[in-house]
Amino acid sequence: MPMISVKCPYDIPQSVLKELSSIIAETIGKPEQYVMVVASHANIMMSGSTEPAAFVAVESIGGLSPEVNRILSGKICALLQDNLHIPAGRTYITFQPFTADSWGCNGSTFA
């Protein structure tokens, strides 16, 4: 049920997607078998510049909190900076908690 979506100007290697999946599972405390990682190419302008930047959205049923969000922000920014050379200051991240009845899978919801 946790999902992380990354939009940036690059194709993201499978190894980075795998690391994002692990980071989300470990930090939120959910089994990795339920984590979804979505990556898409995007043309991004930030602060009037087209220098490399990223937009990341993290969504989950439970597990998110101000403390967890800060930890995730640090880990995600470090991973994108180390592997894709996207500066942490040019990465925006949103965190969205959901209730179990707001998330569907396999023809039903998690409620």
**What is the full DSSP assignment across 73-96?**
HHHHHHHHHHHH---GGGEEEEEE
What residues form DSSP beta bridges with 95? 58
Sign of torsion over alpha carbons 60, 63, 64, 68: negative
CA distances from 54 to 21, 62, 85 (A): 17, 24, 11
**Catalytic annotation on 2?**
yes
The SS3 of residue 65 is: coil
Q: Kindly name the residue from 2, 52, 87, 97 that is annotated as catalytic.
A: 2
Q: Residues with catalytic annotation?
A: 2
